A and B are shown apart, each in its own frame.
Chain A
Amino acid sequence: MMQPKHVLDGYRVLDITQYLAGPAATNLMVQMGAEVIKLEIGPHGEPVRNFPFCRDGRSGYFIQQNRGKKSLCLDPKTPEGLDIIKQLLKHCDVFIENFAPGVVGRLGLGWDVVREINPDIIMCSISAFGQEGPLAAHPGFDYIAQAYAAVSDLIGEPDRAPSMPMLAFGDVGTGVHALTAIGYALLERARDGGGQWLDISLLDSYFHYHEVSVQAYSASGGKVQPHRSGSHHYAVGPSGIFKAKEGHLMILALLHQWSPLCRAMGREDLIADPKFVDNDARMVNREEMIAIIEGWLQTLPSDAAALAILEGARIPCAPILSVPQAMAHPHMIERRTVREIDDRLLGKFKIPGMPLRFSKYEVDENIQAPLLGEHNAEILQRFLKYPPEQVRDLENRKVLFSKPV
């Protein structure tokens, strides 16, 4: 066979998702070579086309999540629009949506209908709380599911309100969970045939992050109470954010790293000190331990000097970089964890890199985010054999929409 352009070359995805969780899943699929038809609801299309940062009506937020996708914009509430979607389903391997549960069914595109049209299709629904259960009908965004999943409660000072992270790892994480479920369903289909329906939720994904708290609370019969504990971990240490000469440093010196830390500080005397001899003792005397480490950090000329000493002793440590600092870090630049793209309208700017790295393929950086309805004619001609005049007619009658530059 011809050399494929990337690992998912040849797969076609009908993507009716909007905002972040669903688009994050199809964003990764595009970057792995899949053909993604982004089905936008007319007349305005994807709501994030207006999210900041915007310049000349072009959104950096939209571009980051939607590069390489083909835009088809239509009104699914018209019979002709709905028919176009149903025709396209026959040509697709995957159908993905993230409306509130039930909405896609009311549009006439529920799993029962979709599987009749294409028995081999993988349909993936992404929602805040899942497709059924007491919370299913509630509207939800990332932080709403985060609060229900007992993640928000574990961030901040114990005696103050919890704190919220200024990024949506729940949406992106849920998109990655959806990607895995879709991919494994495709793999199973390749061997056993037949499609299936996937039910992915933010709540499931967030709750899945609890590595310690759920089992520890359950197994200890409630003796271990998970709680937020500010800038230092409640169960292991030293593990936290320490005030240094200039800024703050993250230092993790768990178990076998305590002795090297003591030596790095020139405090061999602490190694055998019963107050700090093991993790339990260090947790009892946590405040004193933190004061010793912060006292030592103050004696050093700079944070860089502290990092050099700690790194030399192989103690896990890091400066707490701001977003601009991280974007300027040589490691991030060398590995293209941050990368510059060039949008046809917005111009050059930076976005996060592709987190999945394959030895056989480079990421194609020349892909472009689509204009609204940019691929109406191409898609309808290719899959439904509509001539250009029919597409124009559908645009005139507000079944299809597009927004020329």
Chain B
Amino acid sequence: MQPKHMMEGYRILDFTQFLAGPTTTRLLAEMGAEVIKVELAPAGDPTHQLPHRRAGRSGYYIQQNRGKKSVCVDIRNPKGLALIKELIKSCDVLLENFSPGAIARLGLGWEVARQINPELIMCSISAFGQTGPLSELPGFDYIAMAVSGVMDMIGDPDQPPYFPMLGIGDVSAGVHALAAINAALLYRYKTGRGQYIDISLLDSYFHSHEINVQAYSGSKGKIVPRRSGHHHYAAAPLGLFKCRDGYLFMVVMARQWVPLCKAMGRDDLVDNPNYDTNAKRVQNRLEIVAIIEDWLRNYDRDDALRLLQDMHVPVAPVLSVPEAMEHPHLIEREVVRTIHDRGYGELQIPGIPLRFSDFPEPLDLQAPYLGEHNREVFSQFAGVTIAEVAALEAEGVLVSEPLPAGVATVASA
């Protein structure tokens, strides 16, 4: 039978909250895996409260948790813990992003989990990793970004650094985790063996240094990587340029210098010995930036863009989020897509970045309500009757929020 998507048949037990871990399991759900999101009683994933909210629903939570099944459990209660241990028996992957050590204190560390299910793949995601001097410290995306030497590389040299207003580190660590889990699944397919994976935001951020680490080390400290504002410190022209009504980003490497000069009507610059190599252009960067911005002063952003694109100069308008969301390319490829949540209504979120030729259609997914799948999951996988689930809910071991009037539960596949 044709599976509905790549990962149909795989079951994931997902303790993660906030962003990094939920990114991993969101992508798994979008690829057809069955994701059981274990939310901690009584309130569940803290992102239920994050903006933007409507009808008691968080757009933030919806974006990260579509297609998952929610069970809400008090795992400090022995009955709750016993239910979770039953679920571990039938899951392929267990994922968590508590502070290091917390999952073991809950009684669900790797040593326990592997005893319950020797084929299990367990993945922990943390800010700094499971070992080392920093591992115990609390951490979020920007904390790891600061320690990784990445934040120091953003901004003007004589000013404090900046950080980007988006969670690059969390999403990236989530994708790194997805890659590691996949490799472990491939390995298990051949050998039948599970294993434990340690993913951190710090590792993922540091992994993004393509030049800085080797250049500083290889040059024995002669090249000191530093933030340099709107223009790159090692290549030119490469940076942001001001037009009449906005900004363009240009990447002009060796081959593109001549077309750029021609686009500006400045063929005289082509043979100018001050600019004929990248090293000289870096040295005379300020002059070059002035020449280009002087030319751009007479152009609106989108007119200059077309001129430069016609000359095959790598160039982009610096789009705002609303502009990007309206761009025909992003719409045509569903880089931005519109979804419909049962409670919240219509909402735009980023598209799925993994495109498979055999599975071109996205799955129709809904974000769960808190504890929506207590009954289904525990009766199916933990041998508990519906009546027992109801009793556990009355006792507070399990929690579920009532579905609003008119909202139907998502039927199991």
Counting CB contacts under 8 A, is A194 at the interface? yes
Set of chain B residues within 8 Å of A1, measured between Cβ atoms: 190-191
Q: Digit string of B196-222 for contact with A (CB within 8 Å is 1, else 0)?
A: 111110111111111111111111010
Set of chain B residues within 8 Å of A180, measured between Cβ atoms: 27, 175, 178-179, 182, 354
Counting CB contacts under 8 A, is A323 at the interface? yes
CB under 8 Å from chain B, chain A span 141-192: 141, 143-157, 161-169, 171-173, 176-177, 179-181, 183-188, 190-192
Q: Are A250 and B207 in contact (CB under 8 A)?
A: no
Q: Are B332 and A327 in contact (CB under 8 A)?
A: no
Partner of B319, one of A129, A132, A150, A323: A150
Which stretch from B69-77, B130-138, B269-277 is at the chain A interface?
B130-138
**When A163-B229, A165-B150, A203-B335 are in contact, do A326 and B185 touch as well, CB less than 8 Å?**
no
> In the complex, A215 Cα to B336 Cα: how many Å?
10
Q: From B150, which residue of chain A is reached at the shortest CB distance?
A: A167
Partner of B182, one of A150, A187, A199: A187
Set of chain A residues within 8 Å of B110, measured between Cβ atoms: 359
Partner of B223, one of A53, A64, A141: A53
Q: Digit string of A201-212 for contact with B (CB within 8 Å is 1, else 0)?
A: 101110111111
> In the complex, A90 Cα to B335 Cα: how many Å?
34
Q: Are A211 and B167 in contact (CB under 8 A)?
A: yes
The A/B interface has a contact count, at CB < 8 Å, of 501
> In the complex, A295 Cα to B255 Cα: how many Å?
51
Q: Contact size class for B?
A: 35 or more
Counting CB contacts under 8 A, is B386 at the interface? no
Partner of A166, one of B133, B154, B164, B240: B154
Q: Are B354 and A166 in contact (CB under 8 A)?
A: no
Q: Are A350 and B213 in contact (CB under 8 A)?
A: yes
Counting CB contacts under 8 A, is B107 at the interface? no
Counting CB contacts under 8 A, is A396 at the interface? no
Q: Are A4 and B191 in contact (CB under 8 A)?
A: yes
> In the complex, A202 Cα to B346 Cα: how many Å?
27
Q: Digit string of B171-184 for contact with A (CB within 8 Å is 1, else 0)?
A: 11001101110111
Partner of B6, one of A20, A188, A209: A188
Q: Are A144 and B206 in contact (CB under 8 A)?
A: no
Q: Are B216 and A323 in contact (CB under 8 A)?
A: yes
Partner of B149, one of A188, A212, A326: A326
Shortest CB-to-CB span from A138 to chain B, Å, is 6
Counting CB contacts under 8 A, is A233 at the interface? yes
Counting CB contacts under 8 A, is B295 at the interface? no
Q: Digit string of B217-248 for contact with A (CB within 8 Å is 1, else 0)?
A: 11101011111111111100011101000011
Set of chain A residues within 8 Å of B171, measured between Cβ atoms: 208-209, 211
Q: Are B191 and A172 in contact (CB under 8 A)?
A: no
Q: From A179, which residue of chain B is reached at the shortest CB distance?
A: B179
Q: Are B149 and A350 in contact (CB under 8 A)?
A: no
Q: Are B165 and A53 in contact (CB under 8 A)?
A: no
CB under 8 Å from chain B, chain A span 92-142: 111, 129-130, 132-136, 138-141
Counting CB contacts under 8 A, is B392 at the interface? no
> In the complex, A353 Cα to B165 Cα: how many Å?
26
Q: Digit string of B2-30 for contact with A (CB within 8 Å is 1, else 0)?
A: 01001101000000000100000001000
**When A135-B329, A163-B230, A357-B197 are in contact, do A316 and B206 touch as well, CB less than 8 Å?**
no
Q: Are A360 and B27 in contact (CB under 8 A)?
A: no
Partner of B167, one of A164, A212, A311, A321: A212
**When A130-B333, A187-B182, A319-B147 are in contact, do A64 and B161 touch as well, CB less than 8 Å?**
no
> In the complex, A154 Cα to B72 Cα: how many Å?
36
Counting CB contacts under 8 A, is B261 at the interface? no
Shortest CB-to-CB span from B229 to chain A, Å, is 6
Q: Are A316 and B316 in contact (CB under 8 A)?
A: no
Q: Are B161 and A241 in contact (CB under 8 A)?
A: yes
Q: Digit string of A342-386 for contact with B (CB within 8 Å is 1, else 0)?
A: 000010011111011111100000000000000000000000000
Shortest CB-to-CB span from B293 to chain A, Å, is 10
Q: Are A167 and B210 in contact (CB under 8 A)?
A: yes
> In the complex, A256 Cα to B50 Cα: how many Å?
13
Q: From A136, which residue of chain B is reached at the shortest CB distance?
A: B329
**When A153-B321, A196-B357, A350-B217 are in contact, do A218 and B186 touch as well, CB less than 8 Å?**
no
Q: From A24, which residue of chain B is reached at the shortest CB distance?
A: B210
> In the complex, A330 Cα to B234 Cα: how many Å?
29
Q: Are B324 and A148 in contact (CB under 8 A)?
A: yes
Partner of A162, one of B166, B193, B240, B329: B240
> In the complex, A210 Cα to B19 Cα: how many Å?
11
Shortest CB-to-CB span from A341 to chain B, Å, is 9
Q: From A172, which residue of chain B is reached at the shortest CB distance?
A: B208
Q: Are B193 and A335 in contact (CB under 8 A)?
A: no
Which stretch from A71-79, A81-89, A219-227 is at the chain B interface?
A219-227
Counting CB contacts under 8 A, is B348 at the interface? yes
Shortest CB-to-CB span from B34 to chain A, Å, is 15
> In the complex, A250 Cα to B314 Cα: how many Å?
34
Counting CB contacts under 8 A, is A38 at the interface? no
Q: Digit string of A1-27 for contact with B (CB within 8 Å is 1, else 0)?
A: 100100110110000000010001000
> In the complex, A205 Cα to B162 Cα: how many Å?
21
Shortest CB-to-CB span from A333 to chain B, Å, is 9
> In the complex, A4 Cα to B132 Cα: how many Å?
28
Q: From A50, which residue of chain B is reached at the shortest CB distance?
A: B254
Counting CB contacts under 8 A, is A61 at the interface? yes
Closest 8 CB pairs of A and B: A326-B149, A218-B348, A183-B182, A147-B316, A350-B217, A150-B324, A60-B214, A318-B146
4 additional A-B pairs beyond A152-B249, A173-B175, beta carbons within 8 Å, are A163-B155, A187-B189, A211-B19, A228-B162
Q: What are 13 pairs between A and B in contact, CB < 8 Å?
A: A8-B187, A163-B156, A163-B240, A167-B150, A204-B353, A207-B353, A208-B171, A208-B350, A211-B64, A212-B50, A241-B151, A334-B132, A335-B131
